[in-house]
């Protein structure tokens, strides 16, 4: 049972009460059709890998170096938290990061609340990391993150012995007291979630014995790949069609150098933009193509996109290639819900692509989108309708009737879209603006900095 945050905890950590307030200055911006996207761009480092590189290096004994780290607000929240837990983390003038880890089992108790900002990955993975250490930490976040569900992580961590006192509904702010020693468990994921899987595996690092996670549906496997590289003893098998990951506890992680590939979720916006804007011929360099993350690439190709992989290679244990994207007319399809875990963050921009396709695109099995930074099904349906798209919202997905390649036609003054503090809504509707007759105005572009601080500059560069 999840306990409520006691009054004494709130008094002891007054910053937790104010942390849920949004602290950004709203910045609106208009996006309109312009010339083709051409040339070569490079998107920032993968956000999922950047988070994990900082955490795992922070648990290793010795010095690790990270090249290509995404320097967005979400990842910087992870860096700040790992510093509080005892890791030394420095950014060099050359953009490379150096981490001296604290060691598994040797984390320090943070002196103030860990402010996760807007980052669900930071919150859930760090909860797992701390859960098997004999320290206490309070987690806070902004208004958006404080509305997101944490019970899916709280439940298995409490089974392992952690004590967690959460806000009503199992949300942030919450206080976590780690178990020492924690108890190894075998946990079957009730929902496909790489964050929950990773939280349990991270808790298992400092837990005597073997902790197992059972995945009925495979999710992104960056944690398994990278933990193995850092020296964790980890076994991955399959039984009855389910994936089973076992981690041996009381691990000693060794330092390693990490090169972070380009984020496929960031590349997605430019893949769709170059596909939709006539005359485009854009190369996106160094894009991570991990099979558990490449769902959008497969779906766009099914719809008729012209995307070629160039110079396929391996970078730090992750498959990488340059993507050459040319304008193409898309056709609507019924999207297999089984592919959702490999492109869950890319559905907002896929909805934009579907709005310009010929025919109808149907999506199902996307209930998870309702508990992201915003309710992405409802917010994208409303935004696309404002921009002139024909959209039907269902409980678990959207049905979108495409224009056949004609520009979206909203209101003459241009649609004003409410992003609801969601970076992917803002960027997706910016791409919709490029394919619209009257343009799209975004009420607040500041959330983009959480994951893709160079988005606006790259969009201008590609359109010149």
Q: Which residues are catalytic?
A: 345
Report yes or no: 210 and 247 within 8 Å, Cβ to Cβ.
yes
Half-sphere exposure of 198 (CA within 13 A, CB side): 27
Q: Compute φ and ψ for 304, nearest 5 degrees.
A: 110, 10
23 marked ligand binding residue = no
Q: Is 424 labeled as ligand-binding?
A: yes
CB 435 within 8 A of CB 276: yes
- 72 and 44 Cβ atoms separated by less than 8 Å: yes
Rounded Cα distance, 330 and 456, in Å? 25
Task: State yes or no: 405 annotated in a binding site.
Answer: no
Return the structure tokens found at 104.
């598994």
Q: Is residue 147 part of an annotated ligand binding site? A: no
Question: 319 φ, ψ to 5°?
Answer: -70, 135
Is 302 annotated for ligand binding?
Answer: no
Cβ contacts of residue 445 below 8 Å, gap of 6+?
27, 28, 29, 419, 426, 430, 456
Nearby residues of 241 by Cβ (< 8 Å), 6 or more positions away: 216
30 annotated to bind ligand: no
Which residues does residue 4 pair with via DSSP β-bridges, in sequence order? 166
CA distance 98 to 79: 11
374 marked among binding-site residues: no
Q: Is 345 annotated for ligand binding?
A: yes
Give the distance, in angstroms, between the CA of residue 17 and the centroid of all CA atoms in the same chain.
26
> Is residue 324 marked as binding?
no
Across 266-282, b (16+ Cβ under 10 Å) vs e yields bbbbbbbbbbbbeebeb
Q: Which residues contact 461 (CB under 8 A, 6 or more apart)?
A: 39, 41
Using alpha carbons, select from 234, 278, 319 the residue that is nearest to residue 38: 278
| Contact predicate 231/253, CB 8 Å | yes
Q: Is 28 annotated as a binding residue?
A: no
Q: Output the known binding site.
A: 47-48, 52, 120, 148, 193, 195, 345, 372, 376, 424
Q: Output the known binding site for 3-phosphoshikimate.
A: 47-48, 52, 193, 195, 345, 372
Q: Output the known binding site for phosphoenolpyruvate.
A: 47, 120, 148, 195, 376, 424
């Amino acid at each position: 049972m999840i306990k409520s945050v006691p009054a004494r905890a709130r008094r002891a950590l007054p910053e937790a009460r104010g942390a849920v307030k949004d602290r950004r200055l709203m910045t609106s911006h208009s996006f309109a059709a312009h010339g083709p996207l051409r040339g070569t761009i490079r998107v920032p480092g993968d956000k999922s890998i950047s988070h994990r590189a900082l955490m795992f290096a922070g648990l290793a004994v010795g010095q690790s170096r990270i090249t290509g780290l995404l320097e967005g607000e979400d990842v910087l929240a992870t860096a700040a938290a790992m510093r509080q837990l005892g890791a030394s983390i420095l950014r060099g003038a050359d953009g490379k990061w150096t981490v001296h880890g604290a060691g598994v089992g040797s984390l320090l108790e943070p002196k103030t609340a860990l402010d996760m900002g807007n980052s669900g990955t930071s919150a859930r993975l760090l909860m797992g990391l701390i859960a098997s250490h004999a320290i206490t930490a309070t987690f806070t976040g902004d208004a958006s993150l404080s509305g997101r569900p944490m019970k899916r992580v709280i439940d298995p961590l409490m089974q392992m012995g952690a004590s967690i006192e959460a806000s009503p509904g199992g949300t942030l702010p919450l206080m976590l007291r780690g178990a020492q020693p924690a108890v190894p468990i075998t946990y079957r994921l009730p929902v496909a979630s790489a964050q929950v899987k990773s939280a349990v595996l991270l808790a298992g690092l400092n837990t005597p014995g073997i902790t197992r996670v059972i995945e009925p549906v495979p999710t992104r496997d960056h944690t398994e790949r990278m933990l193995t590289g850092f020296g964790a003893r980890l076994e991955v098998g399959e039984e009855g069609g389910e994936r089973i990951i076992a981690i041996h506890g009381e691990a000693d992680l060794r330092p390693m150098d990490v090169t972070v590939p380009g984020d496929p979720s960031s590349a997605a916006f430019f893949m769709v933009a170059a596909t939709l804007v006539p005359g485009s011929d854009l190369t996106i360099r160094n894009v991570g193509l991990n099979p558990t993350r490449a769902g959008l690439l497969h779906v766009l190709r099914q719809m008729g996109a012209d995307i070629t992989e160039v110079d396929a290679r391996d970078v730090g244990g992750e498959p990488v290639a340059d993507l050459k994207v040319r304008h193409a007319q898309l056709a609507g399809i019924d999207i297999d819900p089984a592919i959702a875990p490999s492109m869950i963050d890319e559905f907002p921009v896929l909805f934009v692509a579907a709005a310009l396709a010929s025919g109808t695109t149907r999506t199902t099995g996307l209930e998870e989108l309702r508990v992201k930074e915003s309710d992405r099904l409802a917010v994208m349906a409303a935004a696309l309708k404002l921009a002139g798209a024909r959209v039907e919202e269902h409980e678990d997905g959207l049905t979108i009737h495409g224009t056949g390649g004609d520009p979206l036609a909203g209101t003459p003054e241009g649609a004003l879209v409410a992003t609801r503090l969601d970076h992917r809504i803002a960027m997706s509707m910016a791409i919709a603006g490029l394919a619209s007759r009257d343009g799209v105005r975004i009420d607040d572009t500041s959330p983009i900095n959480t994951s893709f601080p160079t988005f606006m500059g790259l969009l201008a560069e590609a359109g010149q």
